[in-house]
Amino acid sequence: MNIFADENIPLVCEAFAHFGNVTTFNGRQLSADHLNDADILLVRSVTTVNEQLLKKSNIKFVGSATIGFDHIDLNYLQTQNIGFARAPASNAISAAEYVIAALFSLSQTQCFDLTQKTVGIIGCGNVGSRVLARLEALGVKCLINDPPLEQLLNKNFTFSPLKDILNCDIISLHVPLILDGEYPTFELVNDTFLSELKNGTVLINTSRGKVVDETALLKHANRLSLVLDVWRNEPNINQTLLEKTCLATPHIAGYSFDGKIRGTTMIYEACCEYFNVEKKWRANLPKPPIEKIVFSDQISKEKALHLAILACYDLRADDAKLRNIKNQPESDKYFDQLRKNYPIRREFSTLKVEIQRFDLIELLLKLGFQVGG
């Protein structure tokens, strides 16, 4: 079989080699003419998979190494009897840790105590629920807004109306892009939404760029603290809006190496099951750059947490690289290169923290770190 795969799916050639010939491509430049001889198509979110792309092909299976699927025409795949798989929750831990890293970074630069803030979480699925668990472990008060989930559960779970979320000190968005229906999220964050926010509100978006009306956001940006990982017109992002942010990154919140390998593994295993092929590949992850950190029992809780997080992920480095986009002659290509050449970033679970204090041991474990005495 002939496999066509996005070049940014890690270890994809190694994983799918026993299926046949693997050809990699630039996800934004793929066209129908490339797929004449393809049997399997493996993509990321930058590639729209629909009738226009597949009409000349004999594609039998499409895999998307992403949690979302708004770039996939599922109805068309079903009518053509084309198999499909994605990687739900593969990067959920990474995205949740990004939010925690961003909040600790802001707490340092803006000199606030995170435990004294109220966080509103819009969307409590794979990512939002993990953000909630970590913040509650830290002792942070959280409010949740997720109408579809509230309708589904309808018991033993406390949800808040949107008007209460808008009064929070920090708001973090974790919704899929939904264009219509009972609960659309397209431009959920619009002028009306933003007008209700109090001055100084921290707004974090790691979901989808189109969830936010960027024209309205520019209007209110000067009185808010913005953390943006996703953008309306990637890779041609709004650089005026970029200048208004406190922290900004090139759509890499879920880009931990662990999360990306999970995505590859999930679509590989789904493909094996679809074609009834024996699973022969298993990923071998490299050692993390920092395997262990040792703290004195005299260290403060805040400093210990901040240093442990920085040891795994210093979000400020990604922020600095994106801000350099203003000096690039081809800003769109620079944005994509930042994603393509993203350095290996490991999740909190790969770092062992040695400390004797029980209060910190329990907290570090809940945040996902290994802990030893």
Q: Write out the catalytic residue numbers.
A: 208, 234, 251
Which two tokens mark 74? 């599922």
- 250 preceded by cis ω (within 30°)? no
DSSP codes, 38-74: -SEEEE-TTS-BSHHHHTT----EEEE-SS--TTB-H
The CA–CA distances, whole Å, from 260 to 35, 163, 214, 235, 256 equal 24, 36, 28, 20, 6
> How far apart are the C-alpha atoms of 326 and 243, rounded to whole Å?
10
Q: Which residues partner with 41 through β-bridges?
A: 4, 62
Which two tokens mark 90? 């593969």
DSSP codes, 125-186: SHHHHHHHHHHHHTT-EEEEE-HHHHHHH-SS-----HHHHTTSSEEEE------SSSS--T
Q: Are 322 and 338 in contact (CB under 8 A)?
A: yes
Q: Are 252 and 342 in contact (CB under 8 A)?
A: yes
Biggest CA–CA distance in the chain, Å, is: 66
Best CA proximity match to 108, nearest among 314, 346, 373: 314
